[in-house]
Amino acid sequence: MIHDGAQLTSDVAVDCDVAVIGTGAGGAIAARTLSSAGAKVVMLEEGGHHTSREFDMQEATAFPMLYQEQGNRATSDLAITVLQGRSVGGGTTVNWTTSFRTPAYVLEHWRTRHGVEGLTEEALAPHWQAIESYLNIQEAPESYVNRNNGRLWEGLGALGWKRQRIRRNVYGCMNSGYCGMGCPVDAKQSMLITAVPDALAKGAELYVHTRAQTLTEENGRVRAVEGVCVDPSTWRPNGRRVRVRPKVCVLAGGAINSPAVLLRSGIGNRSGRVGRRTFLHPTLAMVGLYGEPIEAFYGAPQSVSSHQFAERGDKMGFFFETAPIHPMLASIALNAFGSPLRELMAKLSHTSAVIALLVDGFGEGEEGGTVRLAPDGMPVLDYPFTPRMEEAARAAQEGAARILLAAGATDVLSLHAPPVRLRAPADLPNLAAAPFGPNRLSVFTAHQMGGCAMGGDPARSVVRSDLRHHQIENLFVIDGSVFPTALGVNPQLSIYGLASWASPHVLAALGRG
Amino acid sequence: MAVTRRVFLRRALIGTAAAAGTGGAGLALWPGRRLPSPGAPLRFFTEAEYSIFAIVADRIVPAVHGQPSAADVGVAAKADALLAKAAPHTQTDFKRLLGLFDNALASFVLDGRATPFTRLSPAEQDAALIAWRDSRLPLRRSGFEGLQRLAGALYYSDPRAYPGVGYPGPPLLMRADGSVVGGTPEQRAAALAAKKTAATVSPPKEGR
């Protein structure tokens, strides 16, 4: 049953087996698995329960409704725009459906460098297979490759670089291109229409517009989750409270928000590592202009990728994909104003984009970002630009420019303020000469990872390899915040697999193993 | 849509305080230009802040023939509604940014220009925006990006801006339950009447 915190007329106190904080990729899969095993589950979700009936494919509707901070989340200096979901289904309600298993080299790095035990391809394979079947994860057929992705495919082919078609969690996809605004036809197999309803059908309770404010601890255990109800018309607490007293608590608010819950609570941070090592796949982009229409606003947003440069030895790796080009996000990405902005926006339908996602967290001494609390208790993310990141960003921009030129773009533009324009490979030195630094160019993140890292050493990590907190014995963290590094691939399937793999450990902690 | 936060511009504020102590107080108090009050009550901005943001938005997305202006689509009123729901620390930072942006003394200290932004000519305003954008002070660049992205996002997410960028808008789709979404209101009405012009979704997967 779904309860709306915005509508509650009195405070609520509820006892249960498992409290699950967050309904995204981690929380929903955990809630479904635990409910199916007979556990009494209560889910808390800060966002609202919004369904396809409300998804009108307008950016002005979707971003305030379905994204953190109404679509306004960013790093503290505004240098990196943070796209992160906030509603039932979390990021899965608004992601672009791209589904990759965690690469073997990443799992091996976690084992050797972070002391993560038991997370092997062999151990995860049955969980991935089950999820892939459950969410109908299959390779996008060629007919779903739109011209935006087609240009990436052609450019990669002309350069002889690795390329592959992407797998997607869709069923009955109408190839419209609006995954990021909530699937209007329930084709995307998001948590909103799969695992959350499954958990509810097994008796789970869900409180929406209910923010997990703090966890209270007693004798090394979580005693209660203190939930604060939120009025969505002001996004301020409405005075109502939901207190959940669970036997076991699953924290699944995602990177940034899960660490913030622990920091607000003042518990579980003996190591000082809560909020540290936050990674983002910092994302650069180059855009190409063409003489013919591309219409990158229509069609499956992502169907092609290249991991040619995902592993670059001692240097930071990166991988290429595309981004759909709708007017609002385009205006944020293009770093122009006045007549130049008008002129670039007028070419929207003839524009394609190649994005390059930097694989952060693998370098010696590389610490990524840090989550801290603002005076109002909300999380703030600092993410410094480093020389290592600059080297990778420059290589990635050059690679993206080469792809677009090889794909037939007449003009290629960077997202610098103002943009650098290239018409041929001979112009690449202009790109190399452009400045790099915070707010010198647009950088995005759609993949937030880390902040509650798993690992073998309690002094260097927050949770154990089985995702149980090092000190608080009935607390598990099951979301992207436990990754010790970035993933090198889009994260949803890694989180689903991890949640499926970890759920038996939660049951064991309940005494039901 | 990334609005500003943490935009304290500490160095500029320190410079402003120092100059105020040596006779610059008159500049610091020179009020900016005010626009007529908007129709609806403001929830976040003061009327002065509303004017500053509206005048900035008009330079970010300048009026051109045949397309709606920032004022036409109500960019400043949209910003007011959005920021009214922002976190308190974000609200504080945004108000500080707007105050500093239009402060004559701050612009004198930073750029040697002793006039509030809102009282400059359009060409001078563009030069002032570029000075913020290209500043060596990271916090000033943050301030520019916050204003530029918010104004741009609120303008281009309005369907009235779509024709000017060659975006036809969302396609007409029919859901499995027969409801329709996207297209124009006329297209939706026609599709509901005909129940056949829109594509339909495959039936739900077996065994779900």
Which chain B residues are Cβ-neighbours of A378 within 8 angstroms?
Answer: 87-89
- The minimal CB distance from A331 to the residues B126, B134, B156 is found for B156
User: Domain check: are A337 and A405 in the same one?
Assistant: yes
Average pLDDT, chain A: 97
CB–CB of B157 and A60 under 8 A? yes
How far lies A282's CA from each of A358, A491, B39, in Å?
5, 14, 41
Mapping DSSP onto H, E and C, the string for A436-485 reads: CCCCCECEEECCCEECCCECCCCCCCCECCCCEECCCCCEEECCHHHCCC
Distance CA(A462)–CA(B141), nearest Å, equals 35
Kindly state whether residues A297 and A155 are assigned to the same domain: yes
d(Cα A450, Cα A359) in Å, to the nearest integer? 13
* Optimal mutation site among A56, A66, A70, A72, interface B, most CBs of chain B within 10 A: A72
Least confident of A168-172, B75-79, B137-141: B137-141
For the stretch A338-395, pLDDT in tens is: 999 999 999 999 999 999 999 999 999 999 999 999 999 999 999 999 999 999 999 9
d(CA B189, CA B202): 22
- List, as ranges, residues 417-456 from A with C-beta within 8 Å of B: 417, 437-440
Quick check: is A148 in a domain?
yes
Report pLDDT for B31. Answer: 79
Contact flag B90-A69 (C-beta cutoff 8 Å): yes
Minimal Cβ distance to B59: which of A63, A338, A374: A338
What is the count of structural domains for chain A?
A: 2
Residue B114 binned pLDDT confidence (cut-offs 50, 70, 90): confident
Tally the residues of chain A. 513
Please indicate, yes or no, whether residues A431 and A325 belong to a single structural domain of this protein: yes
In this structure, the answer to whether residues A328 and A418 fall within a common structural domain is: yes
A270 domain-assigned: yes
A413 and A328 inside one domain: yes
Q: Taking a C-beta distance cutoff of 8 angstroms, is the pair A454, A464 a contact?
A: yes
pLDDT digits 0-9 by tens, A26-57: 999 999 999 999 999 999 999 999 999 999 99
Chain A positions touching B170 (Cβ under 8 A) are 56-58, 176, 178, 184
What are the residue boundaries of the structural domains of chain B, listed by start?
Answer: 10-165, 170-202
Its pTM stands at: 0.95
**How far apart are the C-alpha atoms of A462 and A268, rounded to whole Å?**
8
Report residues of chain A scoring pLDDT below 50. none
State the pLDDT at residue A266. 97
Q: Are residues A218 and A263 in the same domain?
A: yes
Is residue A238 located within the same domain as residue A350? no
Looking at the structure, do residues A332 and A261 belong to the same domain, yes or no? no
φ, ψ at A41 (rounded to 5°):
-115, 135
Query: Which has more confidence, B23 or A34?
Result: A34
Q: Which CATH number does the domain housing residue A403 bear?
A: 3.30.410
Nearest CA in chain A to B159: A58
CB pair distance less than 8 Å for A58 and B159: yes
Residue A298 structural domain = 142-170+283-359+386-437
Task: Indicate yes or no: CB of B156 within 8 angstroms of CB of A76.
Answer: no
Same structural domain, A20 and A154: no
For the record, the structure tokens of B206 come out as 């077996």
For residue B9, pLDDT over 60 is answered with no
pLDDT of B202 > 60? The answer is: no
A390 and A337 within one domain:
yes
Percent of chain B with pLDDT over 70: 80
Q: In the structure, what pLDDT confidence band is assigned to residue B25 with cuts at 50, 70 and 90?
A: low
Whole-angstrom CA distances from B200 to A173, B172, B173 are: 10, 10, 7
Determine contact: B62 vs chain A, CB below 8 A. Answer: yes
Q: Does the CB of A221 have a partner CB in chain B at under 8 Å? A: no
A440 neighbourhood in chain B, CB within 8 Å: 141
What DSSP character marks residue A188?
B
Cβ of A476: how many Cβ atoms within 10 Å? 30
Give me the residues of B, 164-183, that contact A with CB < 8 A. 164-167, 170-171, 173, 175-176, 179, 181-182
Contact list in A for residue B7 (CB cut-off 8 A) is 78
Q: For testing the chain B interface, which of A332, A349, A371, A380 should be mutated: the one with the most B CBs within 10 Å?
A: A332
Say whether A57 and B199 touch across the interface (CB within 8 A): no
User: How much is the pLDDT for B24?
Assistant: 58
CB contact under 8 A, A378 and B87: yes
Q: Are A255 and A213 members of one domain?
A: yes
Residues 6+ apart with CB under 8 A from A47: A66, A85, A86, A87, A88, A90, A208, A209
Inter-chain touch A338–B60, beta carbons under 8 Å: yes
pLDDT of residue B107: 81
CB A88 within 8 A of CB A45: yes
Whichever domain contains A25, its CATH number is 3.50.50.60
Residue A127 covered by a domain: no
Confidence of residue B206 (pLDDT cuts 50, 70, 90): very low
Q: Which of residues A410, A437, A464 is at a domain's end?
A: A437
Checking if the pLDDT of B207 tops 50, the result is: no
A488 within a domain of the structure (yes/no)? yes
Percentage of chain B modeled with pLDDT above 90: 62
